[in-house]
Amino acid sequence: MAPLVPKASLLPGMVSDEQHLHLWQQSIAPMLDARPVDHQAAQAQLPVMHQYHLGRYLFIDCAFTGQHFSRDAAMMARHDDADHLTLQMYVSGGNKVRNGDCCFEQKPGIVYGVNLGHEVQATSLDSEVLVLVLPRQLILDEVPILADLRGAAFKPGSVCGELFRDHMLSLRRLLPQAGMDTIPALTDSLLGLLDALMAKGDGAASVAQGAMFTSVCHYIDQHLDDPELSPDGICARFRCSRATLYRLFKPQGGVREHIQRRRLMACFKAIASPKHVHRRIFDIALDYGFISPSHFSHLFRHHFGMTPSEARDMGGERKGPGLELAMPSGCSAAEDSERMWHWSKSLTASAALRHAE
């Protein structure tokens, strides 16, 4: 029988109430800062959380009393390797959210995007919520129209929205008994469903803008080793103004920032690939326009949370579906809380390793 999908849990009674609240905050700290609206109520009804690692993404099933959630600029700088897209469905309760310049109210039974590439300020009721944590690279590769999703993922009352809600409820029901051998099918079904539903034009995201964004991203990826790659060249190629290009890539921090991140990703792919094991790391960096070893090493570590040498070692050690999935189940609340923290931080590097395969 195949091992079960890796799972980490935080349940009342495992530690003292105060420590439980601390571990709850620590477990989601790379993504959001959480503070109870009413500390006494939070102690009377402690948060419950189950987190599943599905290789390329996470699924979270949790319940909590009213919370203030935040992700400010300083936190984004500390945890820029956790700028994921989260798809959230409140089973009960609700949440009032400001996500960048978008404000919306999350209501039960509707799937919303809360984008960690933007600042977040939110206040929830006592709630039960299901969350998909999708690393930005996975979204850009598979469903780029969702790259800047903030707010409702589907039109209110739509069939597509109902289908995706049912999919999240099915994951909640099935994952506790699912084996690791089901992870590829679960991943394909999730990404296939998202792609199909968005292709039907039922998504709340702008299809036209998404199509142009996809085309520009594809062009950038095909020219990462071109020293002449620049915003002016892209504008000329797509016959658009700099203002249009700026608006398109504003959620990514600007087109220059996007190009730098994609070049870093290309370096990660090459460094971790067995095909390039005998090449000097900085020779690979030079291929993508980095001219200072120290500056490249700093950018790489800041983005991936590891040095280029550590990335090469990870590439050489890969076995099976990935390093994260080999982690044993936790035997204490503190260990499972640390595991959740690590999982949310490591998704970006996991996405890069996926490219290297």
Q: What is the mean pLDDT of residues 158-186?
A: 94
Residue 65 domain-assigned?
Answer: yes
Instruction: Report the pLDDT value the prediction gives residue 325, as an integer from 0 to 100.
Output: 43
The answer to whether residues 172 and 35 belong to one domain is: yes
How open is the CA angle 307-308-309, to the nearest 5 degrees? 90
Integer-rounded Cα Rg, in Å, for the chain is 20
Q: What is the mean pLDDT of residues 120-140?
A: 94
How many domains are there within the chain? 2
Q: Does pLDDT of 214 surpass 80?
A: no
Q: How confident is the model at residue 323 (pLDDT cuts 50, 70, 90)?
A: very low
Residue 355 domain-assigned?
Answer: no
Give CA–CA dist 60/134, Å, rounded.
Answer: 11
The answer to whether residues 40 and 123 belong to one domain is: yes
Residue 356 domain-assigned?
Answer: no
Q: What is the mean pLDDT of residues 40-66?
A: 94
State pTM to two decimals. 0.73
The answer to whether residues 181 and 223 belong to one domain is: no
What are φ and ψ of residue 37, in 5° steps? -65, -40
Indicate which CATH number applies to the domain containing 179. Answer: 2.60.120.10
- And the tokens for 243? 């203002």
Q: Does pLDDT of 169 surpass 90?
A: yes
For CA atoms 279, 280, 282, 283, the dihedral sign is negative
Tell me, what DSSP letter sits at residue 154?
B
37-51, 161-175, 200-214, 329-343: range with highest mean pLDDT: 161-175
The answer to whether residues 215 and 194 belong to one domain is: no
Please classify residue 13 by burial: count the beta carbons closer than 10 Å to its beta carbon, then call 0-12 exposed, 13-18 middle and 19+ buried.
exposed
The answer to whether residues 32 and 79 belong to one domain is: yes
- Look at 107-116, 141-150, 179-188 and tell me which has the smallest mean pLDDT: 141-150
Give CA–CA dist 71/43, Å, rounded.
Answer: 23
The answer to whether residues 217 and 199 belong to one domain is: no
Residue 235 domain-assigned?
Answer: yes
Q: How confident is the model at residue 201 (pLDDT cuts 50, 70, 90)?
A: low
Q: Are the CB atoms for 114 and 99 separated by under 8 Å?
A: yes
Give CA–CA dist 279/260, Å, rounded.
Answer: 21
The answer to whether residues 127 and 229 belong to one domain is: no
The answer to whether residues 35 and 151 belong to one domain is: yes
The answer to whether residues 268 and 292 belong to one domain is: yes
Domain that holds residue 54: 7-203
Give CA–CA dist 348/84, Å, rounded.
Answer: 8
The answer to whether residues 47 and 196 belong to one domain is: yes
For CA atoms 322, 323, 326, 328, the dihedral sign is negative
pLDDT digits (tens, 9 = 90+) for 243-260: 888 888 887 778 898 899
Of 153, 169, 203, the residue at which a domain comes to its end is 203
Q: What is the mean pLDDT of residues 54-67?
A: 96
Q: What is the mean pLDDT of residues 167-177?
A: 96
Indicate which CATH number applies to the domain containing 274. Answer: 1.10.10.60
Average pLDDT, the chain: 86
Q: How confident is the model at residue 74 (pLDDT cuts 50, 70, 90)?
A: confident
Closest residue by Cα to residue 152 from 210, 97, 214: 97
Q: Are the CB atoms for 145 and 198 separated by under 8 Å?
A: yes
**Buried b / exposed e along 200-229 (16+ C-beta atoms within 10 A):** eebbbbeeeebebbeebbeebeebbeeeeb
Of 203, 227, 250, the residue at which a domain comes to its end is 203
The answer to whether residues 137 and 66 belong to one domain is: yes
The answer to whether residues 61 and 187 belong to one domain is: yes
Residue 336 domain-assigned?
Answer: no
Q: Are the CB atoms for 303 and 80 separated by under 8 Å?
A: yes
Give CA–CA dist 154/200, Å, rounded.
Answer: 11
Q: Does pLDDT of 187 surpass 80?
A: yes
Q: How confident is the model at residue 320 (pLDDT cuts 50, 70, 90)?
A: very low
Residues near 26 by beta carbon (within 8 Å), at least 6 away in sequence: 337, 338, 341
Of 179, 203, 227, the residue at which a domain comes to its end is 203
Q: Edge-to-edge, what's the strand order for the sheet holding 7-10?
A: 7-10, 48-53, 58-64, 127-134, 85-92, 111-115, 151-152
Q: How far is CA 301 from CA 24, 81, 309, in A?
A: 27, 10, 10
Q: What is the mean pLDDT of residues 260-278?
A: 86
Q: Dihedral, CA atoms, 85, 90, 96, 100, nearest 10 degrees? A: 10
Which regions of 24-180 does DSSP assign to beta strands (E)?
A: 33-36, 48-53, 58-64, 67-71, 85-92, 95-99, 102-106, 111-115, 120-124, 127-134, 151-152
Q: Does pLDDT of 95 surpass 80?
A: yes
Q: Does pLDDT of 208 surpass 70?
A: no
Q: How confident is the model at residue 161 (pLDDT cuts 50, 70, 90)?
A: very high
Residue 334 domain-assigned?
Answer: no
Give CA–CA dist 308/199, Å, rounded.
Answer: 38
Closest residue by Cα to residue 344 from 108, 133, 100: 133
